[in-house]
Amino acid sequence: MLKIKNLHVAIDGAEILRGLSLDIPAGEVHAVMGPNGSGKSTLSHAIAGRDAYEVTAGSAKLDGENLLALDPNERAAKGLFLSFQHPMEIPGVATMNFIRTALNAQRRARGQEEMSSADFLRLIRDKARLVGLSDEKLKRPFNVGFSGGEKKRMEMLQMAIFEPRFAIMDETDSGLDIDALKMVGDVVNALRGPGRGFLVITHYQRLLEHIRPDRVHVLAGGRIVKSGGPELAEELERSGYDQYTEAA
């Protein structure tokens, strides 16, 4: 499914990722854990196609297709979704209109029919209940006046609506209380299945109690320095990242 090989990424000429390789087969959930500054968010932004993140070497392919040659919206249409670590407020943009425009842009790009207003309304109401966002919140401009937790719920709402083939969740757990963590787990577990993959980026093990990963990787100094099963997350929780930052 997602194959990243020897990826080097620089921001303003400073190399952040230094030969990162990851292979996440269809149907699996992988976690990437690492200390601050290890390159976790750089990884998510580079795969999603943010301009300022310059890929200087390596490759990233989704089902054999070279993601790096595509615009961010083309990557989205191929089924790549990024749950942002810091979702922003976009004043003046009506939430439902934005999500529907985005959904239909993806569907058009895939040669599918656009979704009608009525079908969309049913869909968003249904998923909003799942993530715990009220109708009133959906009627506001996008994320305006939302708490950190509500913004993460809005990310999960969109993930549930777009049903991406591959989702990168960039510290979705940061700033969430226990109920919200469980909600995130529910959304992921409902989508989890044979044709779909997840990359969960996190500092902590606690989200992984709700989303049991198939593999855990430690990112330090811009590359994967250790991989293992779910027990690796527990070990990190006990012993911390020091040994890896020193190694990097």
> How many Å apart are CA 98 and CA 162, to the nearest integer?
13
Query: Nearer Cβ to another protein, position 141 or 185?
Result: 141
Can you say whether residue 167 is alpha, beta or left, with left for phi > 0 and alpha for psi between -120 and 50 degrees? beta
Amino acid (1-letter code) at residue 170: D
146 secondary structure, DSSP code: -
Q: Which of residues 57-76 bind another protein (CB under 8 A)?
A: 71-73, 75-76
Contact between 159 and 81 (Cβ < 8 Å): yes
Instruction: Compute the least distance from the CB of residue 248 to another protein, in Å.
Output: 28
Q: Which of residues 149-178 bind another protein (CB under 8 A)?
A: 158, 162
Contact between 141 and 168 (Cβ < 8 Å): no
Q: Among the candidate windows 31-39, 58-66, 78-86, 173-181, which touches another protein by CB under 8 A?
A: 78-86
42 binds another protein (CB under 8 A): no
Q: Which of residues 84-103 bind another protein (CB under 8 A)?
A: 84, 87-88, 90-93, 98-99, 101-103
Which residue in 3, 5, 50, 165 binds another protein (CB under 8 A)? 50
Q: Which residues pair with 220 in a beta bridge?
A: 223
Tokens 């787990």 belong to residue: 185
Query: Nearer Cβ to another protein, position 50 or 226?
Result: 50
Contact between 77 and 105 (Cβ < 8 Å): yes
Half-sphere exposure of 48 (CA within 13 A, CB side): 19
Query: Nearer Cβ to another protein, position 26 or 94?
Result: 94
Query: Nearer Cβ to another protein, position 152 or 215?
Result: 152
| Contacting residues toward another protein, per CB under 8 A | 48-52, 71-73, 75-77, 81-82, 84, 87-88, 90-93, 98-99, 101-103, 105-106, 109, 141, 158, 162
